[in-house]
A and B are shown apart, each in its own frame.
Chain A
Amino acid sequence: MSPLFMTLVLAVGLAIFGRTMYQRILLLMALEPADRFNHIKDRLKNLVVIALGQKRLVGRKKERASGIMHALIFWGFCVLLIRSITLYGEGYVHGFQLPLLGESSILGYLYIALKDIMEGVVLLMVIYAFYRRMVVKPPRLHNTWEAYLVLGLIGILMVSDLLYDGSRFMLITAHGNPGDLHFFNNPTFGQEFLWTPVTIAAGNVISGFSPVGLERVMVLMFWVHIITQLTFLNLLPLGKHFHVITSLPNVFLKHLGYPHEKIKLLDLEDESVWEDETLGVNHLYQLNWKQGLDLYTCTECGRCKEVCPTYVTDKPLNLHDFNDTLKAELYANADNLILRAKLAKTLTGDDEADAKIKEKMAVFKPEKALVGEVIALDTLWACTTCRACEQVCPVTIEHVPRIIAMRQGQTLMQGQYPEELNTAFKGLERNGNPWGIGYDKRADWAEGLDVKLMADDPNVEYLLWVGCAGSFDDRTQKVSKALVKILKAAGVDFAILGTEEKCTGDFARRAGNEMMYQMMATENIEVLNGYKVKKIIAACPHCLNTLKHDYPQMGGHYEVIHHTDFINQLIAEGKIRVKKSLAGVLTYHDPCYLGRYNEIYDAPRSILGGLSNQGLSELPRHGTESFCCGAGGGRMWMEETIGSRINVERSKEIVAENAETVAVGCPFCLTMIEDGMKELDKDEQVKTRDIAELVAEHLA
């Protein structure tokens, strides 16, 4: 077309884009390190399934229509990326063709056909997207000018390219190709336009134009397309559409194995960390670069808040605002953060010299306190760590570890945390349980049940980890007793630790009290390793999760199985038999730490299916999208004073299903849902039972 103009447009467009991206990358590099370049094969698999395959967009039944819409626009963009290269080439060379995709190959023809259809599809999807935003107005969406602008730009991109091709088609086919325009023409595959129905339709729209008019349209549309594309590219890093660039890397770099980055094991003995406030996230620069990339990538789609138990019960935690606020703060302090990081690199390890550097570094501290001013305390403490947000996030943002790290800063450094946690922490410190009941009463529930203690027989096959609730809470003690009955019926060789067991430290860790957690973990691991424990049956998903995933960081390596998984195995192996005689509507509430954290969804269902004579009825929110009871992340030990109560919200859902029995597999869920039923005055109609209790009652 015009090499000079093309060069000018490209130079300006790419230079500005390059500068913005350079700043964004520098900012990420100024943050803390994170190791995310291992296990490339697994990462590529995630990239293909989650990002390219759009699994979390198309895969959710509830959001299928909008998911398909997004996927089609995304796939359309992938296809059109190649077309763009051809167009830039066209700016320099008349009839530019890419190798393999030229007119001599069937691939070239297949590509133009695909490109033609995808342009039409994307255009339709853009119209649907406008309709959704303007007419349907889903509550999770932020209706911003940016959203409309970007949709508009995508629309212009499609229309301009179609009209460019359409005018070319008209000139070639209806007016004898006056400008000697290039088009595919291969004796085997025929002429280009036989393969492009959408282009023909576009051409027909402007068929009334004269050849001169058509030529003008063609040139105009070419440049409109090129300039729109470069404008679009430059707008992306400025707002939420940055995800167009960052989501693929973000998915590729997501945490592997455990569902999100594990809580960092902090070195509390190092005196300098206490002086330098380096424990947890107290300041922006303590975020790691992957957490920064998460913030860049947040698309503000609002799926996270829609499934968040705190947001739907009117608490101040609104995850996309949370991300947006942090991102804005990151951008606002970008220069300072980069300068600070440069200084940090000059630290020598020599105390005296470093003191001066640290003094200079302190100048670059952001004005506002990260927690308290940027993020409100109530927002930070609302989270139940249920992971519903992470499970639905299409771009795999890890919200929870960031929240816990910020809580660490508050609990360890600032001493700012909900007052009610005091009692629980004190109980943990003195008696190894959050209630603070005398530790010597821990095994009282087992009196008369003839349960062995590890101290008496350290060679048993299994250790039964009872947990604090199972040991001290009247209601949950019944679950412990039921479990003992099942294990005895199956002839399992097991023992308990009795007064040697302490809280695993789960809630303390998730409330940011790493010190209390490490205290509990150290003592427990010492006892467990002392007895050479190998296999543990955990009667609580929180204990399970901590024993299985947290303790290895501190040298505790065990094979840990949740009691529902174990009971399911006992049934499958024929070691116990159950009667299929449970009457009435039975439903199941998935505990977050059993389901989303440990992916145990089938075992409880398989057991319950074998008990109920009418089969298990699923709740509307179940499995990976189960709704939290409200007690995770230390919330069990905090007051819930803002908004409505999470457990009541969940109980209402259970009542609406006409359930007569709701099964759970977690002592917190048991307490919360039973309390919810009482609050609704439905505790007589709907019985909340642990799966172990139901099995024990139906042993054949």
Chain B
Amino acid sequence: MKILTTVKKVVDVELNIHVENGAIVEKGLQYVINAWDENAVEAAVQLKEAHKAETTLVSLGSTDNTDIIRKCYAMGIDNAIHIDDPALAKADSPTFAKVLQKVYEAGDYDLVIAGKQAQDTDAGQAGIMLGEFLGIPCVSNVIEIKVTDDTHIQVSRLGDAGTEIVDVTLPAVVTVSDSINEPRLPAMRGIMMAKKKKITVMDLAGLGTSFEEIGGTAPASEIVEFLPTQKRKGGQKFEGDPAEITAKVVQLLVNEAKVL
């Protein structure tokens, strides 16, 4: 079985993100692997360990992703491709999905495992669109993957009311939830040894396409402006006699908040 996993580098959302004049302030930001993609990599490596599988990672972007790719190598990924093209800086979800489609078609993959969304945009579209563009089954929000035979897998999908068990015919795309696994922190030895492994880097031309061909020049959506998160206003504190306060609070809830 050949597995393709997708990895994106995103802004570390643990940091305060400042917005000025409709754009994100780059200073002080740092970039990390998207958490859900780490789950995807872990899922792929676990399948590899349990069954005979070859795992390939693809990362897209206009950034140097060597650090995160090396880590994925240390986790146990076999091959890595990085599509590095400055044009991708302005790409939207369908464009990314088109790039992934090209990567998929260049290989001979049975299964694509992607994170269900990226921490920066929370769009959650690229994986599903890839399934659509390829015309193969796609299951989202997956929390377990079991291999049935060479051409079938059974996945558990976390729904609103419970878990769905889905039999899927390969090739297919699954997007995984963070509850599927706890990604391993690779041994330092693995990270050091991964320095020797080769990362295939290519631009869109190298992939045999162009930004225009995949629809990048006529995007379906465009980011117009970033706005800072509104800070929550502090609550009101009341001190004094409990009976008086209660009356006051009730009055405020009725007249001002209008919830009663």
Contact = CB atoms under 8 A, between A and B. Distances in A.
Nearest to B32: A430
- A-side interface mostly: helix
A401 to B, nearest CB: 19
Nearest to B74: A415
Contacts of B258: none
A439 B15 CA distance: 7
Nearest to A514: B188
Interface in B27-71: 28, 30, 32
A6 interface: no
B16 A513 contact: no
B185 A422 contact: yes
Interface in B182-216: 182, 184-193
A412 B30 contact: no
A515 B188 contact: yes
Contact of B14 (A268, A419, A436): A436
A414 B182 CA distance: 18
B12 interface: yes
A411 B187 contact: yes
Contacts of B182: 419, 422
A504 interface: no
Q: Which of A421, A438, A499 has the most CB of B within 10 A?
A: A438
A603 to B, nearest CB: 37
Interface string A241-272: 00000000000000000000000000010010
Contacts of B193: 274-275
A638 interface: no
Contacts of A422: 182, 184-185
Contacts of B185: 415, 421-422, 425-426
Contacts of A419: 182
A441 interface: yes
A415 B190 contact: yes
- Size bracket, chain A contacts: 20 to 34
B52 to A, nearest CB: 22
Contact of A438 (B14, B184, B192): B14
Contacts of A391: none
A411 B28 CA distance: 30
A438 B15 contact: yes
Nearest to A423: B185
A669 B190 CA distance: 35
B187 A440 contact: no
Nearest to B31: A430
Given A268-B192, A274-B192, A415 B187 contact: yes
Interface string A412-446: 11110001011001100011000011111100000
A515 B74 CA distance: 15
Contact of B189 (A415, A430, A499): A415
A265 to B, nearest CB: 15
A269 to B, nearest CB: 9
Contacts of B188: 268, 411-413, 415, 513-515
A431 B189 contact: no
Contacts of A514: 188
Given A268-B188, A438-B12, 15 more contacts: A274-B193, A411-B187, A411-B188, A413-B189, A414-B189, A415-B184, A415-B186, A415-B187, A415-B189, A415-B190, A425-B185, A436-B14, A439-B15, A440-B15, A513-B188
16 contacts: A268-B188, A274-B189, A274-B192, A274-B193, A412-B189, A413-B187, A413-B188, A421-B185, A425-B185, A426-B185, A430-B30, A437-B14, A440-B15, A441-B15, A441-B16, A514-B188
10 closest A-B pairs by CB: A415-B187, A438-B15, A438-B14, A422-B185, A412-B188, A515-B188, A274-B192, A413-B189, A440-B15, A274-B189
